[in-house]
Amino acid sequence: MNVSGLLRHIDTFAPFELAEEWDNSGLIVGDYSAEVKRIAVCLDAVSEAVISADELGCNVLVAHHPLIFRAVKNITLNTEQGLTIFEAVRRNINIIATHTNWDKTAGGVNDILGALIGLKHPESLGDFGVYGAIIPKMKLKTFAEHVKSSWGLSHIDIYSGTNKQISRAALCGGSGAEFWRSAKRVGADVYITADMKYHEISDAVNEGLSIALCDHGEMERVSVSQLASKLEGCGIETVILDVKALPPIIRI
């Protein structure tokens, strides 16, 4: 199988047509005709991931987040992005991104997150995210602890009373600040996401919606193992890289 064939395989479980117009999913660096030897999977395509993939005999790196997202004016070795591109070309590593198509697809990031915390009768929150019932209902603090444990998070920040009883939750993996109103409309008691700003949180809480914020990378990293399993369906050995774009969170 070549890289084009692998892209066609990805399209069967995370259709690229689902990707947002502003997104950059697909082959980011590489050669469509290159034969795929072994696949490495990670959350972020950083230089460490490229080097690790090469050392493990992988010539394809599939990452959730695109290496190139905005227009690139130059490629230099004193930036992480430039170094990653340089290492990929030098080591013949093909880099593929499955970003918003993996977020939005059935069985993708948001469905995985919802299933892990046991959302009942899950439904789509819109283009991104899911919501569902919490059975039996529980206090927000208890539910947040359950989410933290289920997703292997280092922390989760709660905005609103921790003793509040909740029976419906909504979530969006990664940066989902803009969808809190959708969560409110479907009757969610709490909305779980990452990267919300101060005034967005304030507006949501003032309208009666509790907010639970996670680290963006920690939240989405949960789906990497499932992505790897889907990729293995093409018959090529796949390995997961535990490489992080950011250093561990230190809270003082």
pLDDT of residue 120: 97
Place of tokens 């599939």: 62
Tell me the three state secondary structure of residue 154.
coil
Q: What is the pLDDT of residue 244?
A: 84
- pLDDT for the residue 248: 78
Q: Where are the domains of the chain?
A: 3-102+223-240, 109-219
Residue 199: its pLDDT value, please? Answer: 97
Label residue 65 left, alpha or beta by phi (over 0 means left) and psi (-120 to 50 means alpha): beta
pLDDT of residue 251: 77
| pLDDT value, residue 239 | 97
CA distances from 192 to 4, 8, 16, 49, 209 (A): 36, 33, 26, 28, 11
Q: Which residues of the chain have pLDDT under 70?
A: none
- For the structural domain made of 3-102+223-240, what CATH number should be given? 3.40.1390.30
| pLDDT, position 70 | 85
Task: Give me the pLDDT at residue 252, please.
Answer: 79
CATH of domain 109-219: 3.40.1390.30
Q: Do the first three CATH levels of 3-102+223-240 and 109-219 match, i.e. the same topology?
A: yes
Q: Are strands 130-139 and 165-175 parallel, antiparallel or unpaired?
A: antiparallel
pLDDT in tens, 60-108: 999 999 999 888 889 999 999 999 999 999 999 999 999 999 999 999 9
pTM: 0.94
Q: Is the Cβ–Cβ distance between 212 and 157 less than 8 Å?
A: yes
Pairing of strands 157-159, 210-213: antiparallel
